[in-house]
A and B are shown apart, each in its own frame.
Chain A
Amino acid sequence: MFYREAGQYKTSYAKDLQAFPIKQDKIGMFIWGILAVVVAVIGIPGLGYDFAMKAIIIPTLIFTITALGLNILVGFAGQISLGTGAFMGVGAYACLKLTTFFPDVNILIHFVLSGFVAAVIGMFFGLPSLRIKGFYLVVATLGAQFFLEWAFGRIPWLYNFADSGAIEVPTRTLFGVPITGASADVTWQYFIVLFFLAGMTWIASNLIRGRIGRSWMMIRDMDIAAELIGVRPLWTKLSAFAVSSFYCGVSGALMVFIWLGAAEVESFDINHSFLYLFMVIIGGLGSITGSFMGAAFIWIFPILLKEVGKSFGYNATLMENISLVAIGVMIVIILIKEPHGLARLWQISKQKLRLWPFPH
């Protein structure tokens, strides 16, 4: 980048283990934090504020949480899952039931609790991973996806016997400001999502640096060898499923309560599961930064494409199909050129810039 870490010595182990060991990186993160707040307060010039928030920023942040969760499972623990959409659904339905039973408890607490519900369900469907792996596990998680999807549609208790068969989000407030439901305040919603994202990123990055994360990666790289040197596969795999499903559950609850406002089974279907998997692949398997980049890319790219198409006068369906093709092509290209995704590209370009103008 524009800066070097020259002269910044690490004199203790604690310093060596820091998340951001370079001073400029710390400043950079600080600037990002300020920027995130400023954006919300003064708005984004040139774009409709509500549109930008509702259609781009809030969903991107929510999907980043999903991508983080899925990345923990696929990228760090090496267990492929195609049931992400359904696990998000578990979070959303759990949150609906919780807030129906305990309307006085703060909704933020329900978001976290519904993450735990999703974690329990995720662990249950992760049980087969102890015996099987790879493509067989894909089939097992697809089983979870279809079974849960069916349950969401067929068990009326889950959606409070609503006539529409959909989740209807009640209005809940925080400090007197409505944050869910029709009259919700967008800025507050943004801050809540940002708060969750920041907190969960922090937890994820520390989990991965720590003992659990290392044992995940050992299982991913070679499970038999990991078992031989004392990593317990049962505990490791299930914890990966639990943590991942927790992230998906929270993001699912946020997605329905903060962003969508109402959701049917289709919001959790298999196509969404694919989309989340793509976020992780394009962003970079086994990378926290990658989850951010992947989620942003997969979410924003089709919107941009659609807007561009609109300005050229193409109709919306055509642009949608073109964006599907573009995403597919993109995935193939990224897999061929850089299987480690955007995060790796980012790292390489940083490395190149550091050395510039010298070739070595």
Chain B
Amino acid sequence: MELLYGIFIDPWIQMVSLPDFFVQVLWEGFVSGVLYSLIALGFVLIFKASGVFNFAQGIMVVFAALAMVGIYELGVPGWLSVIIALGIMYALAFSVERFVMRPLVGQDDIILFMATIGLTFILIGGGQAIFGGEPKAMLTSEIGLPSGDYVWEMGGGIVIFQKLDIAATVIAGALIAGLAFFFSYTKIGRALRAVADDHQAAVSVGIGLNQIWVVVWFAAGIVALVTGIMWGAKSDVSFALQIVALKALPVLVLGGFTSIPGAIVGGLIIGIGEKVFEIYWGGLMGGGVESWFAFIIALIFLLFRPQGLFGDKIIERV
């Protein structure tokens, strides 16, 4: 009886009686949801254009952020280290296309997927060998990110909004808008969509697949760098992020593998859902439920709607 009360009644009472705390939880969930969305966005970009399920997106986030911090530590100014990190991500995109994707063209999806797991290992080992394995502090003020917070009085309490989180949300929004513009209105963007639609047809009208893939991987690299900066600023830059980044997978399941709006909505649902669940229900189960909540939600969701919220309907023929 007490358990039932704890599950079905008590959390709602808490939410209503302490609205300021509830809003705070929602906000925190929203912010981590934005970050999940960004990682998921990186997955979707590559999946749409090449059908490759890029498992390395999580480690690309860490790698990009580490590269940036590592270069800054060499004494390079903040803005320049961002640019150099972008250059490194371009080099990565180029070499991935040249040495991994191109030789594997036309292989099964599963083979390509496993190749990206191999890539993950290369980046983990390489990143640790070059930049060291210990967590690093992200640059914030050096690259113009704000610090401090806004305090909002509400319902007899206060809600704290970190300026950094607000900036992260704005930048993420700008990035998504920029990508949407790029995809819809530029020549390369149109080529990307053509490739996503049908590889062979795209090649036959003269679109260079290889070049498109470099662009896509580079776009995913940019998204990774932005995610890495935001996430690193919230905690530290460490390889543990890579495991957290796997949460982008349930986000994709919710949103659909091929849908950019899906990635965003899915990320927000997962981010807010897991925070709320952890705070109000997690205590009943001994805490730490954040590590699997997203996956279990995705699992349940899959049973009812395998293509996700916005994904294309899966049609199978023999």
Contacts and interface: CB of A to CB of B under 8 A. Distances in A.
Given A138-B249, A143-B292, A143-B296, A325 B122 contact: yes
Interface in A159-195: none
A140 B257 contact: no
A140 B299 contact: yes
A335 B115 contact: yes
B1 interface: no
Interface stretch (B14-22, B96-104, B150-158, B213-221): B96-104
Contacts of B128: 317, 321, 324
Interface residues of A, number: 46
Contact of A336 (B53, B103, B286): B103
A80 B110 contact: yes
Interface string B242-276: 01001001101100010000000000000000000
B302 A131 contact: yes
B266 to A, nearest CB: 12
A317 B133 contact: yes
A321 B288 CA distance: 30
If over half of B's interface residues share one DSSP class (helix, strand or loop), that class is named, otherwise mixed; here it is: helix
B4 interface: no
Contact of A131 (B100, B109, B252, B306): B306
Contacts of A136: 253, 302, 306
B117 A131 contact: no
Interface in A318-353: 318, 320-332, 335-336, 339
Contact of B318 (A228, A277, A332): A228
B257 A335 contact: no
A325 to B, nearest CB: 4
Contact of B117 (A128, A135, A228, A274): A274
A111 B38 CA distance: 45
Contacts of A155: 286
B291 A149 contact: yes
Interface string B289-317: 10110011011001100100000000011
B292 A150 contact: yes
B285 interface: yes
A328 B123 CA distance: 8
A111 B288 CA distance: 30
B119 interface: yes
A321 B291 CA distance: 26
Contacts, number: 138
Interface string A103-136: 0000000000000000000000000100110111
Contact of B129 (A138, A321, A329): A321
A324 B122 CA distance: 6
B125 interface: yes
A328 B288 contact: no
Interface in B60-80: none
B137 to A, nearest CB: 21
A146 B249 CA distance: 13
Contacts of A142: 246, 249, 295
Interface string A87-109: 00000000000000000000000
B292 A328 contact: no
Given A134-B109, A150-B288, A324-B125, A329 B316 contact: no
Nearest to A280: B114
Most buried by B among A323, A335, A339: A335
Interface string B116-140: 0111111111101100010000000
Contacts of B111: 335, 339
A224 B318 CA distance: 7
B118 A328 contact: yes
B110 A154 contact: no
B183 interface: no
Contacts of B243: 270
Given A80-B110, A134-B109, A317-B133, A128 B302 contact: yes
Interface of B: 53, 99-100, 103-104, 107-111, 113-115, 117-126, 128-129, 133, 243, 246, 249-250, 252-253, 257, 285-289, 291-292, 295-296, 298-299, 302-303, 306, 316-318
The 9 closest A-B CB pairs, nearest first, are A324-B125, A143-B295, A328-B121, A331-B118, A328-B122, A325-B125, A321-B129, A146-B292, A147-B292
Given A139-B299, A327-B121, A331-B117, 11 more contacts: A131-B302, A136-B253, A139-B298, A143-B298, A224-B318, A321-B133, A324-B122, A324-B125, A332-B119, A335-B107, A336-B100
27 contacts: A80-B110, A136-B302, A139-B250, A139-B252, A139-B298, A140-B295, A143-B296, A147-B295, A150-B289, A153-B288, A154-B285, A274-B120, A274-B121, A318-B129, A320-B125, A321-B125, A321-B133, A324-B125, A324-B128, A327-B118, A328-B118, A328-B120, A328-B121, A328-B124, A332-B118, A335-B114, A336-B104
